[in-house]
């Protein structure tokens, strides 16, 4: 598969997979990532070098789901010339000037004080999170994705 076609396909599939995983727990996302890694490792050659009239290998869907699961981690993931994340973070190529929100790695712990500031923080917040009370806003429904290195 051509890299440009792969990017176009993933740019459409990854946001759908992010929405699909939005209610999943960390453990469920880890299971999805592990299943995707297994499918990619065992069948990627079928996607790269398809046999004539062969059935689709399903690797592209697993690739999209694996990248979507990794997008939930602090800092997201950069792979295959794409950067996928859910929240602003230091050195994010999607929006480099945007400050990270509090509690992106543990959103369930996020709580606002009377002054609308974050009461609880995580290790990620030590890297310059916003203190304007935006920590508890949900991330974009579709995530954040961009092609890097062009």
pLDDT at 84: 94
Q: What's the predicted TM-score (pTM) here? A: 0.74
Cα–Cα distance measured from residue 121 to residue 71, given in angstroms and rounded to the nearest whole number:
20
Q: pLDDT per residue over 54-111, tens digit each?
A: 777 788 999 999 999 999 887 889 999 999 998 777 788 887 766 555 554 444 555 5
Tell me phi and psi for residue 72, to 5 degrees.
-75, -10
Which tens digit of pLDDT belongs to each residue from 111-122?
A: 555 555 555 555
Share of the chain above pLDDT 70, in %: 70
Q: Which residues of 56-88 are buried (b: 16+ CB within 10 A; e: fewer)?
A: ebebbbbbbbbbbbbbbbbbbbbeeebbbbbbb
Tokens 């400050």 sit on residue: 99
């Amino acid at each position: 598969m051509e890299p440009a076609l792969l990017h176009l396909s993933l740019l459409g599939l990854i946001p759908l997979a992010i929405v699909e995983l939005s209610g999943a727990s960390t453990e469920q996302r880890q299971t999805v990532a592990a299943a995707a890694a297994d499918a990619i490792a065992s069948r990627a050659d079928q996607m790269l070098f398809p046999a004539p009239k062969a059935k689709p290998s399903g690797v592209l869907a697993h690739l999209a789901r694996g990248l979507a699961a990794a997008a939930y981690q602090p800092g997201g993931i950069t792979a295959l010339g794409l950067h996928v994340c859910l929240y602003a973070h230091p050195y994010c190529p999607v929006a480099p000037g945007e400050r990270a929100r509090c509690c992106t790695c543990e959103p369930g712990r996020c709580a606002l004080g009377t002054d609308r500031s974050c009461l609880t923080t995580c290790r990620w917040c030590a890297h310059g999170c916003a203190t304007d009370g935006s920590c508890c806003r949900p991330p974009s429904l579709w995530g954040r994705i961009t092609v890097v290195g062009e």
